[in-house]
Amino acid sequence: MLFNREPSLEVAADVATAREALDVLPDLRPDLVIVDISLPEMNGLQLVPHLRRMQPDLLILVITGHHEPHYADAAFAAGADGFIRKGNAAAILEAVYSLLNDSRPQP
């Protein structure tokens, strides 16, 4: 997995459905979650507001393989902090670090 090679990142969970994400979030309290738009049962855009209500300070990065531009607008409207398309591992890591660094108070 891409993030396991990053010493400053820890993967707290890897879930396959929105229900699993909702079930593990309260116990894990992560700093950031990556949400795929194309999830079974409840899509990622539907999941984002639930995550936001459960943990208001949670950073949410929405990721997708879709290329239609309206998905980015929909992700931000749902409450996401970031949006990126799949395919470029370096860009995904950059988005993760950017969100994490921007959320920390500056000295």
CA contacts within 13 A on the Cβ side of 8: 6
pTM of the entire structure? Answer: 0.91
Domain boundaries of the chain, sorted by first residue = 28-102
Looking at domain 28-102, which CATH architecture does it have? 3-Layer(aba) Sandwich (3.40)
- Comparing CA positions, the residue from 97, 86, 13 lying closest to residue 59 is 97
Phi, psi angle pair for 64, to nearest 5°: -155, 155
Rounded-to-integer distance, Cα 107 and Cα 96, Å = 21
Rounded-to-integer distance, Cα 65 and Cα 88, Å = 11
Over residues 9-40, the pLDDT tens digits come to 989 999 999 999 999 999 999 999 999 999 98
Over residues 54-101, the pLDDT tens digits come to 999 999 999 999 989 899 999 999 999 999 999 889 999 999 999 999
- CB neighbourhood size of 48 (10 A): 25
